[in-house]
Chain A
């Protein structure tokens, strides 16, 4: 394992070098004041402008091409970056610190406060963004609003439902579970009908998914009051969700393999995993990775905690933000608004599979509003259209959400390894999150 030839050394010390490089970069930032620079005036008509846009969203290239074809004065140069958690954000933060950020970038809803804390986003209210408000689904618009100023233009969200194998469910005489109790019974039935089959996996390394389940159960993890954050991850609603999955796990009727991994894709293909509580964009994941199961899937609403209610939640969701240091803010805002509301653009993004539109009333008559062969000719997006209306809109994020996800991941993984439970992982994450915020020099209350 000697990593000492020049080539090997450079790889072995990769982390250290990267860290050192970014430390150098961060030094240049030094102290950033609160004063905003003067408002930029839009360029004169006829003057050409180049914008740089960093995104990873499928289909966005086609929308950008369309914009460039129809807007000769404002040219957008799209640069594809890795999806946020796979390194996109690290790249953006480094660019922000070195003062070389693009004009626009893809920022998921949960990351907006983190970017604000790093002083990375432009206050778009100063450029008249508020007039666009009515063009978007209200709660998604609110995801970018802080201190009554707009910091991001919403793009897409992930209302949730239950994808399931209708053929296997029929074979075993199982109806799609309407409540979580029924879900637990179905889990039992499926596993006893076929010892190799499971209702789903509990992805211990993907707590964004777990967060959405807690959201649906009525938990409100974060809030802000003046300059004090409140953290309530270990509320009774969250603990209920954690205990539910603890029980299924101890009975051995669910899998515990990671999602979005080779083994999981294989299980989707072979029917070892027969359902998936997921966001609307999960359709592309299933059809893309298990094409031979076409026609065998269907979609039902998310199981409910109380029979007859119709609570849903959001998983994922993304915005187009204008980054600090943008050279042409008014033009960047104009593009961001067009990208996410123009019907042609929305349709191109939909075809690429970008998720559920943030533009208000974009579903009706769009390419989503059609029966799907893959989902047994079901007009399955009706389920998600309904779910979209049943999301608790008051959900807020904190600036250290990545760390919280990791605490949960680490805790859930430890539980799988026999150390603790999902419930204790949640309780631990609460304590750690309070510490994270304090570490950043922020004020925290636990609201209890």
Chain B
């Protein structure tokens, strides 16, 4: 919007149109976030060994933040999701792009079927998916693990060094199809004339992908990458569900799990609020950092 009309009374009309949205936005986004920030700088103090002397809420400044950041388990959980993201984001985006391009290729057969099949896991709630995969990971119950053992491969899919990638597998299975759909939709918007022109210029299939499809797919790729970054940092349901079957998932395995645990098990609502705010800040920094990086590299998203 390069120019703006001079203000007049009639400009109140658009305000009335956006008011419902603004109201909902304030109520469901700004207010809870503001409240979480408020809670994160407060704490409860008790009187007497059992609190029978009563309790009251006091302002503690940034103490909850320093507590959260000096908690090794919480800091490690942030490191863990960052490591997870470093692997998961490229794998997810490359896999989704690969599948989308295959579906879009001229020789693809049964496109509708595969599109539905890829998307199907997305219809399964994350908790259910984690339970399903949980069964496939537990030795003695899983045909997968047993089958591999017969082949002489003994792998512990729930061990300390592997369980994070077992979770990555669930997450990929769940969400790759969704990303494929976004990418396929973008591919569909590419005008057929471009392909025709490329063909006339003698471009091979690979060259069409490299020089026509991928550049035009860029906005959708950026979108799915940002979604994946945010989703990765929020990792919660999968480790929560796998926790009872794996000795390697502790109560602060991911930042979200840690905040949940502080709030609902340890009654430290204020510390949980601080952790939630820190997580939000990290997600904000990463996704906007990524967008800036992309924009600097040239071209508009």
Contact = CB atoms under 8 A, between A and B. Distances in A.
Given A34-B47, A34-B54, A406 B261 contact: yes
B300 interface: no
Contacts of B276: 15-16, 19-20
Contacts of A23: 35-36, 39, 263, 269, 273
Contacts of B244: 205, 258, 260-261
Interface in B196-250: 223-224, 227-228, 230-232, 234, 236-237, 243-250
Interface size on B, as a range, is: 35 or more
A117 B50 contact: yes
A272 to B, nearest CB: 8
B52 interface: yes
A353 interface: no
Interface string A380-417: 00000000000000000001101100100110111011
A229 interface: yes
Nearest to B46: A441
B260 A418 contact: no
A246 B138 CA distance: 24
A351 interface: no
Given A19-B36, A413-B247, A116 B52 contact: yes
A373 interface: no
Contacts of A114: 267
A3 B227 contact: yes
A158 interface: no
Interface stretch (A24-32, A64-72, A181-189, A314-322): A24-32
Interface string B162-205: 00000000011011001100100000000000000000000000
Interface string A406-448: 1001101110111000000000000000001001111100000
Nearest to B254: A15
Most chain A beta-carbon contacts within 10 A, residue among B236, B246, B263 = B263
A116 B47 CA distance: 12
A117 B55 CA distance: 9
A205 B269 contact: no
B136 to A, nearest CB: 11
Nearest to A11: B126
Given A258-B247, A409-B250, A417-B160, A263 B138 contact: yes
Interface in A104-124: 113-114, 116-119
Nearest to B230: A3
Nearest to A202: B247
A34 B179 contact: no
A48 B238 CA distance: 48
B50 A1 contact: no
Given A1-B171, A11-B126, A403 B265 contact: yes
A440 B251 contact: no
A4 B229 CA distance: 12
A26 B57 CA distance: 10
A442 B49 contact: yes
A121 to B, nearest CB: 10
Interface string A114-158: 101111000000000000000000000000001100000000000
A256 interface: yes
Contacts of A4: 227, 230
Contacts of B92: 1
Contact of A441 (B44, B138, B271): B44
A267 B179 CA distance: 40
B45 A441 contact: yes
B17 interface: no
Interface residues of B, dominant DSSP:
helix
Contacts of A227: 48-49
Nearest to B51: A117
A228 interface: yes
A1 B227 contact: yes
B147 interface: no
Nearest to B279: A16
A413 B266 contact: no
B17 to A, nearest CB: 21
B234 A13 contact: yes
B285 interface: no
Interface in A44-101: 87, 89-90, 93
B52 A417 contact: no
Contacts of A440: 44, 46, 51
B160 A418 contact: yes
A2 interface: yes
A402 B171 CA distance: 30
B178 to A, nearest CB: 6
A261 to B, nearest CB: 5
B28 to A, nearest CB: 9
Contact of B49 (A228, A402, A412): A228
Contacts of B88: 1
A90 B36 CA distance: 19
B85 to A, nearest CB: 10
Interface in B35-83: 35-36, 39, 44-57, 67, 73
Given A31-B56, A257-B247, A267-B140, A3 B234 contact: yes
Given A204-B247, A228-B49, A439-B268, 19 more contacts: A2-B231, A3-B227, A4-B227, A11-B237, A16-B36, A22-B264, A23-B35, A26-B269, A31-B56, A33-B54, A34-B53, A87-B264, A119-B54, A229-B49, A402-B265, A406-B266, A413-B250, A418-B160, A441-B44
15 contacts: A2-B179, A12-B234, A12-B236, A14-B236, A16-B36, A20-B35, A23-B39, A23-B263, A27-B35, A93-B264, A119-B54, A205-B244, A224-B50, A262-B141, A439-B268
